[in-house]
Amino acid sequence: MQAAEYDLMRAVEDRHWWHAVLRSLVVNALSGRLPAGARLLDAGCGTGGMLEFLQAKNGDLEMTGVDAADAAVSHCHQRGLASVQLGSVEALPFADAAFDAVLSLDVLYHAGVSDDRALVQMARVLRPDGLLVLNLPAFEELRGAHDVAVSGARRYAEGEVRALLDRCGFVVENIHYWNAWLFLPLLVWRHLSRLKGSRAAAGSDLALTPGWMHWMLAGMGRVDAEMCREFRLPFGSSVFAVARKIQLPAGGKPDGRY
């Protein structure tokens, strides 16, 4: 990811409607599914916005994060998230079965990341029946300058995510697209961004809106996400999944292990 994008993410994510909707999805996914004092890992935590938010929502959780970028870890430490450390999602620096839940939010699609290797590592550090919360950009048709700016190498369809989770040791509890209401405008915008921009000039779509617009968009986004989950709409800009680690027999291993 371009270095400047970490500074932009830190400046924007706590006040951006899209991040607000994603945080609601994560909170709902975790609610009632974790034991008291559960340990949670944000694998590819970026600048720490999700961890700080969850810390404020539930101080009972023991949380840590890991990210491969020095800039991201530095931002986390500036937030007071001292447990966040530098490391790769393909070689997580934690013991087997160390966590009750792992978050992977818009990480596996990055260039240089093997989604299979990363998910097998997440399965390794999860306890038996541990929870994985996964979000990924959807549909290659939505590729644009934003993906270039954040080094996004691939986008996913729901069926691809299901197959990926299955071969890496997980069983899906729930999976759905979201942000369906903006799918067509985004499709047009991203197509135009591919036509007009060079790689050097590419920038992400992150930008702050006025306060009233943030609350309006966040509210509409939450309604959209609930509609997508309830009615399984077949499109959206992201795909969100909640899965459990499969309890393998002795000596067993997921097909995706390297």
**What digits encode the pLDDT tens for the residues 123-135?**
999 999 999 999 9
Mean of per-residue pLDDT scores for the chain: 90
CA atoms within 13 A on the CB side of 257: 10
The predicted pLDDT at position 200 comes to 42
Percent of all residues in the chain with a pLDDT value above 70, rounded to a whole number: 90
Res. 21: pLDDT tops 60? yes
The predicted pLDDT at position 99 comes to 98
**What digits encode the pLDDT tens for the residues 161-195?**
999 999 999 999 999 999 999 999 999 988 887 77
The predicted pLDDT at position 248 comes to 61
CATH number of 3-245: 3.40.50.150
The predicted pLDDT at position 145 comes to 78
Query: What CA–CA distance (Å, rounded) separates 98 from 190?
Result: 40
The predicted pLDDT at position 189 comes to 84
Handedness of CA 230, 231, 232, 238 (dihedral sign): negative
The predicted pLDDT at position 1 comes to 72
The predicted pLDDT at position 198 comes to 46
User: Once rounded to an integer, what is the mean pLDDT over residues 56-79?
Assistant: 95
The predicted pLDDT at position 154 comes to 95
Dig out the tokens for 164 from the structure: 């990926």
The predicted pLDDT at position 195 comes to 76
Beta strands 85-86 and 99-105: pairing type? unpaired
**What digits encode the pLDDT tens for the residues 215-249?**
999 999 999 999 999 999 999 999 999 999 987 65
- Would you kindly state where each structural domain of the chain is located, as residue ranges? 3-245
DSSP state of 251: T
User: Once rounded to an integer, what is the mean pLDDT over residues 31-60?
Assistant: 95
**What digits encode the pLDDT tens for the residues 196-209?**
664 444 556 666 77
**What digits encode the pLDDT tens for the residues 244-255?**
998 765 555 655
**What digits encode the pLDDT tens for the residues 85-104?**
999 999 999 999 999 999 99
**pTM for this predicted structure:** 0.90
Res. 43: pLDDT tops 90? yes
- DSSP line for 122-148: HHHHEEEEEEEEEEEEB-GGG-SHHHH
Dig out the tokens for 96 from the structure: 């087997």
CB atoms closer than 10 angstroms to residue 2: 14
Query: What CA–CA distance (Å, rounded) separates 191 from 212?
Result: 28
